[in-house]
Amino acid sequence: MRRENVFWMALLVIGAAALLWRSAFTTEGMGREYVRAVPVANGRWTQSDPATYGEYQGAEAALPAQTEYQFSLPRTIGLWLAAFFTLAIFSFLFGDNPFYKVAEAVLVGVSAAYWMVIGFWDVIVPNLVGKIWPALVRAWAMPGLSGPEAEPSPSYIVVLVLSVMLLWRLAPKGGWIARWPLAFIIGTTAGLRLIAFLHGDFLVQIRNTILPLAVIDGGVFDPWLSLQNLLIVVGVLCCLVYFFFSFEHQGAVGATAKAGIWVLMITFGAAFGYTVMGRIALLAIRLEFLLDDWLWLIDPTGRRVAALLAGGGLG
Amino acid sequence: MTEFIVNQWWLVAIVIASLIPLVMRIVSAGLLETLRTLDRRWIFLLLLWAVLIPIYFIGVTGRTFPEVPSVLARATFDEIDRLNPGDPILLAFDYDPPSEGELGPMATAFVYHAASKKLRMYFMALWPLGAQMIDNTIAKVITPDFRDLVYGRDYINLGFKSGQEGVIKVVVTNLRELYTTDSRGTAMQDIPMMEGITNIQQMKVIVSVSAGYPGTKEWVQYAVTPFPSLRLVAGATGVQAPLLYPYVPRQLPGLLGAIKGAAEYEKLVVDAYGGANADPKYLEALRRMGPQLVAHLLIITLIVVANVVFLIDRGRKR
């Protein structure tokens, strides 16, 4: 057996043994989810709202035969699956493996299916069928659809026709029909974005860069704000010179362009720093999930306070 | 700290045991040679401990690092804090679970702030899973801690709408063109707080919690720029924040960048409205600054060490 496989096997056995020991042979346990049975308005049904182990412990202590707070097997399975997939994704850091591949495939499949369902219920039903045939949608899917918004809008038939034309590319013949709605989408999107970028980024950003280099606030010179404005104006000008290629970058132009490179590098460095911070935050929340929700090693929000009292302390 | 190490001896033992092979390699091959040929998986392991140990330490001891709010966090806080009870505020939750670690604490703090001020909250999402993020935040903040707030009178979830920036372009002039019902399927005319609301220009402040496209940039381009009377504040991921700084302060009066911005804003909100013993669920970002500090120190050390090794090697070649 390869050394790497031995390592993996050993890690899995040790991990499984530790989990078994913690969940079965310790007072505090781990990885269980609880729900609270809440009666819904009609009184015939109850819905299960998420509850904490602390609330369950408190209810059990008050009334041992209570049924309001209960252990939830489906939610517990969900929790363990979430922990498994988290570890499976992390395992890629060691090397490619079947666990990672399974987790990746599940993520892609679930995301695609979710997008499709959302697209149908949140877009096609209310924004297309609901506009063309509101009575049908009201009777079938959206009983709350009423008032002036529920009046039929015949103009949406154009949208329906364009949608059918777009899907025509899946047909064996006449794929060119799909180019017309595609051209419409590209044209309108390009037009919308061109105006937005020209207005929001180009013009207003020029305005934002026209700043007073000597800031006088209430008759008093503000050196800090003046320096800040000077840095912005000089930084922008230097960067613009760097991207100005009509002159050779020599002499004064070259020096300014070099200063522009420094400004750009500092900007990229700051952006990289922010990215690192973001990635560490994402890692932190997954580890928090493993330590708190799954392993019950920490309890920063006090969700298992009653469990702490009963179990004599965690960790 | 000593007490923590003594009580959590098993964690210390695991950390030391996991690093023994690396130490043995340094002893046998020398420090420079080990660093020159260091397997990246050792760096992953070091980063794991750098993030996990502070999380565990903070989780067990409950201690957090002190946080000093920046000018931008203060500006974001002031934009919401200057409003009067009953003022309408739009909260656009344009993110999904992958960004929850960074943006969840911001969303929680924004809602906690708005609910404490008794503002009328209109939630919407341009991301499909944003609607679930809204529901989660409502269940976390409003349902348990603001029981006097009533759905439909004090807050409403308008839900997700597809169409990216197109949605913004429409709702900025005609909200009901796209939103015929709320996320629960109730007709707009049956919702008390929708009475008289025809477009989002009527909102006193727009709060954008954004993880990318469509998000804060689109709110700036399609809402604030054509309608400069609109006030927009944002909480953005670390990747997105540097792209939004050019909009500050004219188009974007307040911006919270990544978990650091979230921690600063959280501190301002908790100091103002949390009382002496604030609920720990409102201190999420402050808790997550601990792993940030240690991980950043590790990364800076690794960059310095790698450069030193590079300079030594270059010096030898010359």
Q: Would you state the structure tokens that stand for residue B169, as one six-digit string?
A: 């372009």
Cβ separation B101–A286 shorter than 8 A: yes
Cβ separation B259–A122 shorter than 8 A: no
Judged on CB neighbours under 10 Å (0-12, 13-18, 19+), B145 is middle
* Exposure on the CB side of residue B11, measured as CA atoms within 13 A: 18
Query: For B55, which of A118, A284, A299 is closest by C-beta distance?
Result: A284
B312 neighbors B32 (Cβ within 8 angstroms) = yes
- Taken in order A193, A198, A202, A204, the sign of the CA dihedral is negative
State the DSSP code for A169. G
Q: What are phi and psi of B174, to 5 degrees?
A: -150, 95
B214: closest CA among B151, B161, B141? Answer: B161
Q: Report the SS3 class of residue B225.
A: coil
Give A144's contacts in chain B (Cβ within 8 Å).
181, 184-187, 190
* pLDDT value at A307 more than 70: no
> Which residues between 238 and 257 in chain A have a beta carbon less than 8 angstroms from any beta carbon of chain B?
none
Judged on CB neighbours under 10 Å (0-12, 13-18, 19+), B73 is buried
* Mean confidence (pLDDT) of chain B: 92
Q: What is the pLDDT of residues B257-299, one digit of tens each?
A: 999 999 999 999 999 998 878 889 999 999 999 999 999 999 9
Q: What is the pLDDT of residue A13?
A: 85
Q: What is the pLDDT of residue A301?
A: 87
Looking at per-residue confidence, does A113 or A148 come out higher? A113
Give A204's contacts in chain B (Cβ within 8 Å).
225, 250-251
Q: How many CB pairs under 8 A join A and B?
A: 175
The pLDDT of B158-187, averaged and rounded, is 89
Give B281's contacts in chain A (Cβ within 8 Å).
301
User: Whole-angstrom Cα distance, residue B265 to residue B261?
Assistant: 6
Over the range B149-159, which residues count as b (16 or more CB within 10 Å of their CB) and which as e?
A: bebeebbbbbb
Task: Please report, in angstroms and rounded to a whole number, the separation of the first and last CA atoms in chain A.
Answer: 36
Going by pLDDT thresholds of 50, 70 and 90, the confidence category of residue B114 is very high
User: Whole-angstrom Cα distance, residue B124 to residue A107?
Assistant: 25
Q: Are strands B120-125 and B88-94 parallel, antiparallel or unpaired?
A: parallel
Q: What is the pLDDT of residue A1?
A: 64
**Before B249, cis peptide (omega within 30)?**
yes
Q: Would you state the structure tokens that stand for residue A282, as one six-digit string?
A: 């994402």
Mutate to test the interface with A, among B167, B180, B243, B245 (most CBs of A within 10 A): B180
Residue A276 pairs with which residues in a beta bridge?
A: none
Q: What are phi and psi of A171, to 5 degrees?
A: -75, 150
Q: Would you state the structure tokens that stand for residue A23, as one six-digit string?
A: 């969940």
> Which residues between 22 and 81 in chain A have a beta carbon less than 8 angstroms from any beta carbon of chain B?
50
Question: By CA distance, what is A95's nearest residue in B?
Answer: B41
Query: For B185, which of A142, A298, A301 is closest by C-beta distance?
Result: A142
Q: Where are the beta strands (DSSP E) in chain A?
A: 34-39, 46-51, 69-71, 216-217, 220-221
Task: Give ipTM to 2 decimals.
Answer: 0.90
Give A302's contacts in chain B (Cβ within 8 Å).
280
Q: What is the pLDDT of residue B18?
A: 87
The alpha-carbon gap from A217 to the nearest alpha carbon of chain B, in Å, equals 17
The pLDDT of A303-311, averaged and rounded, is 57
Q: B161 Cβ partners below 8 Å, 6+ apart?
A: A122, A123, A127, B124, B125, B126, B167, B178, B179
The alpha-carbon gap from B166 to the nearest alpha carbon of chain A, in Å, equals 9
The pLDDT of B13-41, averaged and rounded, is 90
* pLDDT value at B13 more than 60: yes
User: Whole-angstrom Cα distance, residue A294 to residue A32?
Assistant: 8
Q: What is the pLDDT of residues B203-259, one digit of tens each?
A: 999 999 999 999 999 999 999 999 999 999 999 999 999 999 999 888 999 999 999
Cβ separation B160–A114 shorter than 8 A: no
Using alpha carbons only, give the angle A66, A69, A75 rounded to the nearest 5 degrees.
145
B157: closest CA among B118, B121, B202? Answer: B121
* pLDDT value at B34 more than 60: yes
Assigned fold of B71-278:
Rossmann fold (3.40.50)
Q: Is A198 on the interface with B (CB under 8 A)?
A: no
* pLDDT value at A313 more than 50: no
* pLDDT value at A306 more than 70: no
The alpha-carbon gap from B180 to the nearest alpha carbon of chain A, in Å, equals 6
Q: Would you state the structure tokens that stand for residue A273, as one six-digit string?
A: 């720093």
The pLDDT of A228-255, averaged and rounded, is 92
Q: What is the pLDDT of residue A308?
A: 45
The alpha-carbon gap from A303 to the nearest alpha carbon of chain B, in Å, equals 10
Task: Please report, in angstroms and rounded to a whole number, the separation of the first and last CA atoms in chain B.
Answer: 47
Question: By CA distance, what is B282's nearest residue in A?
Answer: A301
State the DSSP code for B84. P
Q: Is B291 on the interface with A (CB under 8 A)?
A: yes
B242 neighbors B216 (Cβ within 8 angstroms) = no
A305: closest CA among A67, A62, A28, A68? Answer: A28
Q: Which of A39-43, B29-33, B68-72, B282-286 is least confident?
A: A39-43
Using alpha carbons only, give the angle A59, A65, A67 rounded to the nearest 5 degrees.
70
In the block, residue with structure tokens 């720093």: A273
Q: Where are the beta strands (DSSP E) in A134-286?
A: 216-217, 220-221
The alpha-carbon gap from A55 to the nearest alpha carbon of chain B, in Å, equals 13
Cβ separation A204–B180 shorter than 8 A: no
Going by pLDDT thresholds of 50, 70 and 90, the confidence category of residue B302 is very high
Q: What is the pLDDT of residues A186-224, one digit of tens each?
A: 999 999 999 999 999 999 999 989 999 999 888 899 999
Give B46's contacts in chain A (Cβ within 8 Å).
none
Q: Where are the domains of chain B?
A: 2-64+286-317, 71-278
Q: Would you state the structure tokens that stand for residue B97, as one six-digit string?
A: 């679970």
Q: What are phi and psi of B90, to 5 degrees?
A: -100, 130
* pLDDT value at B43 more than 50: yes
The alpha-carbon gap from B40 to the nearest alpha carbon of chain A, in Å, equals 9
Q: What is the pLDDT of residues A142-178, one digit of tens each?
A: 887 777 777 888 999 999 999 999 999 999 888 899 9
